[in-house]
């Protein structure tokens, strides 16, 4: 039985998701800078395959710095800085990744063309699509298992043009709340880009997640203007910015 999410539930789940990264409840955080030491930052994060030993969420006049206790001395030197000062000093010390965070607001698409939710019988088409898009990758031994897992959850959507699979949504593993929230990626054949196939595919994937009671989630590199524009075109809005440090295990 499906449970279509309301906009209020999407908001609450998104806040809960990023609260896990921050180590505190964002909804109760007062403006200013909050420094949160947590051993959670010393654990490998599912979906990343690495430790995120520093995670900064910047939203309006709020900055939450979740950090591994091993950086306590470094953090002590930042206590009296403002938000820009904290970010600048950490960037001078580390190479931080910077992601644009988005929250789903409302659906703006009601037609998805030749996009549909994929099923197990689509694997051969998916494998051909994957190999064409990733010519240097070796999918032997893992691709079918990955595909099977995601289609059983009904997380994959694909767009068909002339009976050929030309665009596919992705559903990577989630580090937190994986039964409640799901990131959606998108990949389109190079020669088929600019035709709106990716937009309809990811629009359908998002629509179906909401029908399943799963909160859609989107984040990307801050310089990925195309990804940000695509997300906004299907109903996402800006949420905040994340700065984080990935370290090998």
**Tell me: the pLDDT tens digits for 29-53?**
999 999 999 999 999 999 999 999 9
Class of residue 18 by CB neighbours under 10 A (exposed 0-12, middle 13-18, buried 19+) = buried
- Rounded average pLDDT over 1-9: 81
Q: What domains are there in the chain, each with its CATH number?
A: 7-104 (no CATH), 115-237 (3.40.630.30)
The structure's pTM equals 0.93
Average pLDDT over residues 191-209: 96
Helix residue ranges per DSSP H, 122-215: 123-133, 143-152, 197-211
With CA atoms as reference, report the closest residue to 11 among 234, 233, 217: 217
Quote the mean pLDDT of the chain: 95
For the record, the structure tokens of 3 come out as 């449970």
Tokens (6 digits) for 212? 């399943």
Q: Is the pLDDT of residue 2 over 80?
A: no
Write the pLDDT tens digit of every residue in 72-91.
Answer: 999 999 999 999 999 999 99
Confidence of residue 248 (pLDDT cuts 50, 70, 90): confident
Cα torsion angle, 181, 203, 239, 9, sign: negative
pLDDT in tens, 122-152: 999 999 999 999 999 898 889 999 999 999 9
DSSP state of 28: G
CA–CA separation, 49 vs 236, rounded Å?
27
- Per-residue model confidence (pLDDT) at position 75: 97
Nearest to 118 by CA among 141, 152, 164, 161: 152
3-state DSSP helix/strand/coil % of the chain, to nearest 5: 35, 30, 35
């Amino acid at each position: 039985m499906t449970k279509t999410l309301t906009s209020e539930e999407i908001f609450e789940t998104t806040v809960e998701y990023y609260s896990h990264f921050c180590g505190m409840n964002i909804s109760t955080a007062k403006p200013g800078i909050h420094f949160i030491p947590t051993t959670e930052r010393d654990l490998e994060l599912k979906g990343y395959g690495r430790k995120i030993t520093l995670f900064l969420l910047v939203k309006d006049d709020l900055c939450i710095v979740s950090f591994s206790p091993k950086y306590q001395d470094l953090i002590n030197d930042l206590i009296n800085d403002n938000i820009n000062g904290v970010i600048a000093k950490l960037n001078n010390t580390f190479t931080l990744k910077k992601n644009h965070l988005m929250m789903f607001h409302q659906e703006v698409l009601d037609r998805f063309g030749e996009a549909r939710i994929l099923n197990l019988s689509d694997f051969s088409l998916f494998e051909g699509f994957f190999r064409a898009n990733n010519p240097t990758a070796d999918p032997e031994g893992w691709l079918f298992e990955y595909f099977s897992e995601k289609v059983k959850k009904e997380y994959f959507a694909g767009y068909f043009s002339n009976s050929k699979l030309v665009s596919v949504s992705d559903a990577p593993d989630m580090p937190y709340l994986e039964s409640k929230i799901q990131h959606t990626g998108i990949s389109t054949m190079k020669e088929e880009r600019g035709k709106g196939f990716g937009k309809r595919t990811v629009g359908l994937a998002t629509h179906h997640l909401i029908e399943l009671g799963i909160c859609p989630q989107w984040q990307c590199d801050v310089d990925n203007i195309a990804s940000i524009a695509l997300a906004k075109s299907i109903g996402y809005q800006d949420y905040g910015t994340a700065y984080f440090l990935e370290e090998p295990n």
